[in-house]
Amino acid sequence: MMPMMPMMASAESMSSRPPRGATPLLLPVPPEDVLSSTVTAGGVAIVPANPVQMMSADGQVLLTIPIQLRDETVGALVIDYASGEGRTFGFANLARGVGAAGLALAGILLGLAIFFSRRISTPLAQLNQAARALTAGDMQVRVEPGRVREVADLALSFNQLADALAAADQQRRQLTADVAHELRTPLSIIKGRLEGVQDGVYEPDQSQIAGLLGEVALLERLIEDLRLLALADAGQLALYPEPCAPAHLLHDTARSFARQAEEQAVALHVEAADALPEVLVDPQRISQVLGNLVGNALRHSPPGGQITLSAQVVADEGVAFAVSDTGHGIAPADLPHIFDRFYRVDRARSRSAGGAGLGLAIARRIIETHGGTINATSTLGHGTTMRFVLPLEPASDGTMDRALPHQGSADDQTLPA
């Protein structure tokens, strides 16, 4: 609203209306003429008996308030709502002001929209391009995080996904190469001996037949190990859990390796209380894990060494099984990789003496399928301890339930097509 100009009218007469913008003066009017008179001939407003809003001859809006002294009207207060040239504030001016403000606000909002859309659309376009490149097989593509936090988080997640896919692709390539290499070795030996027999180099006697059968057994074991790992990866490893006493599992394993330990002059001990709580596990699979760990310990223990099989309850975890030896130990650089497939600490070790490097990978998958964990600690020159923990109750995420077959036996399990 424009400021209102108050005006005082005196009782003196004026011959004409003051110039525009000047304070108009009002003449005293007899009481009998107040109600009938509104504007003088010159356009000057006459005071009414009561406050009245009036329109002057030139369109000005005036409000007059009478001023009385001793019951006699001596003048009036005139409020001019639009007095003064250039200060007229009508509806048109209001509309124009609102329109201008609206246009300015729209311009500001449009500028902000363009600014922020570019900050978001540009990194999203780069992310889309990188995703297409990743789909096409480019495992090295990465994106730079944007300045917007949400977009930056999305870019970081994409980079993590790309890293995981690159690692999986590398493992797949390495696995393919390792499998081909492991299969080629026994097949080459079998082929060479058969060709030697055919050419008369070797006699087809019992020793040659036994050697060929040994290579076939190695090949069969390798294929079975790969099948077992594939079943575990697909979540279809057959488990037949039943309550088992930890001490019983350890003593059975010790009896199985007692003769081999005696031949190598390695002491084999079991430390487990009979009062340990039972665990719900597949006894054949857990015996397979223990057998693999004890076999590795015997392989790396010198004559006069000692291997200890132990079990104890661990609060809030379950029952912890451990196989400790006093062998050569594992180098810190090799320790994080011993559970990888086809990984050998001793790369010069023959396959007939040490297998294909799948035993610990299989052991880890079996323990994880039971809902447990497995790890290793080692000190060079002092020995190694392999430890796995099995829960007293089945895993709450249903791992054991998913591993249970609906019918058939473990030998009947086949991979999905």
Question: Does 134 or 397 have the greater pLDDT score?
Answer: 134
Give the residue-averaged pLDDT of 208-227. 84
At 306 the pLDDT is 93
What would the pLDDT profile of 40-72 be if each residue is shown by its tens digit? 444 444 444 556 556 555 556 667 777 776 677
**If you average pLDDT over every residue of the chain, what do you get?**
76
**Residue 17: predicted pLDDT:** 45
HEC profile of the chain:
CCCCEEEEECCCCCCCCCCCCCCCCCCCCCHHHHCCCCECCCCCECCCCCCEEEECCCCCEEEEEEEEECCEEEEEEEEECCCCCCCCCCHHHHHHHHHHHHHHHHHHHHHHHHHHHHHHHHHHHHHHHHHHHHHCCCCCCCCCCCCCHHHHHHHHHHHHHHHHHHHHHHHHHHHHHHHHHHHHHHHHHHHHHHHHHHCCCCCCCHHHHHHHHHHHHHHHHHHHHHHHHHHHHCCCCCCCCEEECHHHHHHHHHHHCHHHHHHCCCEEEEECCCCCCCEEECHHHHHHHHHHHHHHHHHCCCCCCEEEEEEEEECCCEEEEEEEECCCCCCCCCHHHCCCCCCCCCCCCCHHHHCCCCHHHHHHHHHHHCCCEEEEEEECCCEEEEEEEECCCCCCCCHHHHHCCCCCCHHHCCCCC
200-209: average pLDDT:
84
Per-residue pLDDT at 191: 87
- Going by pLDDT thresholds of 50, 70 and 90, the confidence category of residue 12 is very low
Mean local confidence (pLDDT), 10-31: 44
pLDDT digits (tens, 9 = 90+) for 287-344: 999 999 999 899 889 999 999 999 999 888 899 999 999 988 888 888 888 888 777 7
Of residues 123 and 370, more confidence is placed in 370
* Residue 178 pLDDT exceeds 50: yes
Q: What tens digit of pLDDT does each residue of 365-417 get? A: 999 999 999 999 998 888 999 999 999 876 555 555 545 543 333 344 433 33
Which residue did the predictor score with more confidence, 153 or 42? Answer: 153
pLDDT for residue 28 is more than 70:
no
Domains, the chain, ordered by start: 5-80 (no CATH), 242-412 (3.30.565.10)
Q: How far apart are CA 188 and CA 219, in angstroms?
A: 11
Asked whether residue 276 carries a pLDDT value surpassing 60, the answer given is: yes
User: Could you give the CA distance from residue 348 to residue 362 in angstroms, rounded to a whole number?
Assistant: 22
CA distances from 220 to 212, 214, 355, 403, 412 (A): 12, 10, 12, 24, 16
**199 confidence band (pLDDT: 50, 70, 90):** confident
Of all residues in the chain, the percent with pLDDT exceeding 70 is: 73
